[in-house]
Amino acid sequence: MNITHLKRLHSDSLKWRHLVLIALLAIVTATRLSPALGTFYTTHVYPVIGRVISPVSGFVPFAIGDIFIFLSIAWAILYPAMKRTKIAVFCVAEYLLWVYAWFYMAWGLNYSQPNIYQRINMKPVEVSKTRFKTFAYQYADSLNKLSEECRVKSEECRVKSEGCRVKSEESKLLRKKGNYYEEKVKCEESILKGYYRIGGCGINAPFNHHPHVKTMVFSWLSSMAGITGSMGPFFCEFTLNSDLRHHEYPATYAHEFAHFLGVANEGEANFYSYLVCTASSDMAVRFSGYYSIFFHVVNDVFDILGEKEGTAFLKHIRPEIIQLAKSDRRYWLSKRSKVINAAQDIMLDLYLRGNNVAAGRKSYSQVIALILAWENKKTHFPNSYR
């Protein structure tokens, strides 16, 4: 094979590669501009992609996406610096375009679907101060009741455990780890059942019967940025921070699972997490669901009802819940880096706004508005979640 023939083959491969890339970018652009195409992608295309990729990536015990992103960033920086040629820069630019296309084709086009109000024909509600106050105190009563039930159950388990003979500290530790693992499995199964029940209510039904949640490879770095979980779009996997506290695990798992099912908006993922967790038969999962919106509710009470009513509301909350909230805040603040957290906030805000989430990071706090709209809607919704 002569040199001329080799050059022709190389030229042909470049031509076809670039044509494919252009076609993918055109599909991505068209879908991002069309809510109808976004709906088709989320309801028909993405479940197929997830059904194929998710079980395959699930066999790998670590988060492939985390490693992929780290290596991509490292190569994109080091390769041009080492080569010092224009060709190297063009290679990196083309590679990043492929990554861009891959991100959107594999998961990112879920941002293009209409918002949840349109998907389930639910209208935003303007509630009076009286109506919101009623909601806030009903929420507080539910949280207080669950906290007391969890305390009683924990005390019963402690007494039962003390009544058993334990041979050594090592066996105590093994038992504790075994119980924690069993609780996590129960929690995940409960949440999976919950999503099966609401499949079709503006969200895909689970397409992987045995989803494999993974631990973030760089949990320590994520904690510095205040990130508790993430969706790995490139390999259809979702990850959780290893620093998560026990009571935070169920709601965070449910939040990331909503992303895994094709919900891109953060406020909507919070809403589905709340919906699934608070309807669970597992007491710990229910508590996590209610507690997950605690800070959102408190902030809204102070903003809407004022300082005096906000102070009274906090006094209505059981002391152990207030202590838990303070403990959580101290725990996460102790791990954060102000510089990394500020940089992450800016990048996340730009990322969300660039994907049709006009509220940016504020979309996380939309959960209360969604819950109020759902409460107003569900009595008229034929498949209401009870």
CA gap 41, 50 in Å, rounded: 12
Task: Please provide the distance, in angstroms rounded to a whole number, between the alpha carbons at the two ends of the chain.
Answer: 70
pTM, two decimal places: 0.87
* Cα dist from 242 to 227, 261, 310, 313, 338, whole Å: 11, 22, 33, 33, 20
Q: Contact 262/110 with Cβ under 8 angstroms?
A: yes
- As given in the structure block, the two tokens for residue 180 are 């924690």
Residue 264: strand, helix, or coil:
coil
pLDDT digits (tens, 9 = 90+) for 228-270: 999 999 999 999 999 999 999 999 999 999 999 999 999 999 9
Dihedrals φ, ψ of 239, to 5°? Answer: -125, 155
Q: Contact 197/275 with Cβ under 8 angstroms?
A: no
Task: State residue 178's pLDDT score.
Answer: 52
Can you state the angle between helices 367-377 and 294-305, rounded to 10 degrees? 90
Amino acid at 113: Q
Task: State residue 379's pLDDT score.
Answer: 58
Q: How open is the CA angle 203-206-210, to the nearest 5 degrees?
A: 155
Task: State residue 159's pLDDT score.
Answer: 44
* Cα dist from 241 to 191, 217, 224, 267, whole Å: 18, 9, 11, 19
Domain range annotation of the chain: 1-153+186-386
Task: State residue 356's pLDDT score.
Answer: 61
Query: Residue 210 carries which DSSP code?
Result: S
Q: Contact 305/129 with Cβ under 8 angstroms?
A: yes
Provide the residue-wise pLDDT of the chain in tens; the chain has 386 residues.
Answer: 455 554 554 555 567 888 999 999 999 999 999 999 999 999 999 999 999 999 999 999 999 999 999 999 999 999 998 888 888 999 999 999 999 999 999 999 999 999 999 999 998 888 889 999 999 999 999 999 999 888 766 655 554 545 555 455 444 444 455 566 788 889 999 999 999 999 889 999 999 888 889 999 999 999 998 899 999 999 999 999 999 999 999 999 999 999 999 999 999 999 999 999 999 999 999 999 999 999 999 999 999 999 999 999 999 999 999 999 999 999 999 998 887 767 766 666 666 666 666 554 444 468 999 999 998 887 555 454 44
Q: Contact 318/278 with Cβ under 8 angstroms?
A: no
- Side-chain half-sphere exposure of 260, counting CA atoms within 13 A: 33
Amino acid at 75: W
Task: State residue 384's pLDDT score.
Answer: 47
- As given in the structure block, the two tokens for residue 176 are 């504790």
The sheet that has 237-240: what strands, in order across it? 214-215, 237-240, 229-232
Task: State residue 352's pLDDT score.
Answer: 65
DSSP per residue over 222-263, as a string? HHHTT--EEEETTTTEEEE-TT--GGGHHHHHHHHHHHHTT-
- As given in the structure block, the two tokens for residue 228 are 């508790």
Amino acid at 55: P
